[in-house]
């Protein structure tokens, strides 16, 4: 079954851009809030899925996929899986375990360490599995709320660790993606949930409080509402390299783009109240 699922995951790459919401930075952690949350409920006989682009560079890193089908035995089988995907799929991996020689993605708790010490599986991992309304195997994700996938992906030859926070219904094929983040410093530990906040205000509210102004001297000026506190602004390249960062002092912050190589960059603005991101292109 898993080989067949892997072949079918390619249908969902176009969904990656829909997952990018408000984002910010906590040290070298690049955070993306999925606002509104992305929910998937596989209809009987109609598989469904979404691509997950951890560093928002338009190259999917993983795919989340669910299905609802009738097995040859006549049993109704519902499931959710996660798989490496994209140009570096052979190097990307999921933190998991292999009881009975099958791959099961771990459901991590907030604060769990995600680094090289985990067991990394570069293959499709089962998250949730349900047969005739029962959970018969070693699945970790049936009926969970606010648990975290541990994810490892490669960008420009560098290994980065990240997480994605999801809910999965006990029935096995209904799930909700809430947010995700990655550590932009290669080979560095990230904690599950690090960089994010369940209580952050939404993207729409942040757009009213932080304005990005492109200026003719190849800089971007951020206009920050005085209601926001503890601001940190970071500039990150598409391959995860931290270019610059600084604390917000006052109502304005200038991001310098002069001297940068051509490409896509991400400005992350993180505050105690929430966070937001903007992509900029340097020609």
Question: Among 145-159, 170-184, 264-278, which is the least confidently predicted range?
Answer: 264-278
pLDDT surpasses 50 at 17: no
Q: Please tell me which residue, 152 or 250, carries the higher pLDDT value.
A: 152
One-letter-per-residue 3-state SS of the chain: CHHHHHHHHHHHHHHHHHHCCEEEEECCEEEEEEEEEEEEECECCECEEEEECCCCCCCCCEEEEEEEEECCCCCEEEEEEEEECCCCCCCCEEEEECHHHCCEECCECCCCEECCCCCEECCCEEEEEEECCECCCCCCCCCEEEEEEEEEEEECCEEEEEEEEEEECCCCCEEEEEEEEEECCCCCCEECCCCCCCCCCCHHHHHHHEEEEEECCCEEEEEECCCCCCCEEEEEECCCCEEEEEECCCCEEEEECCCCCCEEEEEEEEECCEEEEEEEEEC
Tokens matching residue 270:
């993180």
Is the N-terminal amide bond of 36 cis, ω within 30° of 0?
A: yes
The model's pLDDT over 25-54, given as tens digits with 9 standing for 90+, comes to 344 788 888 888 999 999 999 999 999 999
pTM comes to 0.66
pLDDT of residue 75: 95
**Structure tokens, 77:** 């089988």
99 or 203, greater pLDDT: 99
- Distances in Å between the Cα of 231 and the Cα atoms of 16, 152, 194 are 28, 28, 16
Would the pLDDT of 118 be above 50? yes
98-104 average pLDDT score? 93
Express each pLDDT in 240-262 by its tens digit. Answer: 778 998 999 889 999 999 999 99
Confidence at 198, pLDDT banded by 50, 70, 90: very low
* Per-residue pLDDT at 21 exceeds 70: no
What does the mean pLDDT of the chain come to?
85
CA distances from 19 to 63, 67, 135, 219 (A): 12, 20, 29, 27
Residue 3 has pLDDT above 90, yes or no: no
Q: What was the pLDDT predicted at 201?
A: 64
Residue 217 has pLDDT above 60, yes or no: yes
> How confident is the model over 128-147, as pLDDT tens digits?
999 998 988 889 999 999 99
Domains and CATH numbers, the chain: 2-191 (no CATH), 203-282 (2.60.40.3080)
């Amino acid at each position: 079954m898993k080989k067949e699922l892997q072949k079918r995951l390619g249908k969902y790459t176009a969904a990656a851009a829909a997952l990018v919401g408000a984002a910010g930075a906590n040290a070298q952690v690049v955070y993306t809030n999925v606002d509104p949350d992305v929910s998937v409920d596989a209809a009987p006989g109609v598989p469904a899925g979404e691509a997950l682009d951890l560093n928002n560079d338009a190259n999917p890193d993983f795919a989340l996929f669910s299905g609802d089908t009738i097995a040859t035995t006549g049993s109704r089988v519902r499931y959710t899986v996660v798989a490496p995907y994209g140009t570096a799929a052979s190097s990307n991996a999921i933190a998991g375990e292999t009881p009975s020689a099958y791959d099961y993605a771990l459901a991590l708790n907030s604060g769990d360490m995600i680094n090289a010490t985990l067991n990394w599986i570069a293959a499709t991992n089962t998250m949730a599995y349900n047969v005739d309304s029962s959970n018969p195997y070693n699945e970790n994700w049936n009926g969970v709320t606010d648990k975290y996938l541990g994810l490892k992906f490669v960008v420009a030859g560098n290994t980065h660790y990240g997480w994605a926070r999801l809910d999965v219904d006990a029935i096995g094929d209904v799930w909700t993606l809430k947010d995700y983040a990655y550590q932009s410093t290669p080979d560095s530990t990230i904690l599950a949930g690090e960089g994010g906040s369940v209580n952050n205000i939404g993207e729409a509210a942040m757009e009213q409080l932080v304005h990005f102004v492109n200026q003719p001297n190849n800089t971007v000026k951020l206009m920050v509402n005085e209601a926001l506190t503890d601001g940190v602004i970071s500039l990150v390249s598409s391959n995860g390299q931290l270019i610059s960062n600084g604390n917000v002092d006052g109502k304005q912050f200038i991001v310098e783009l002069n001297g940068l190589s051509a490409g896509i960059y991400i400005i992350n603005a993180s505050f105690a109240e929430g966070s937001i991101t903007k992509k900029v292109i340097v020609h």
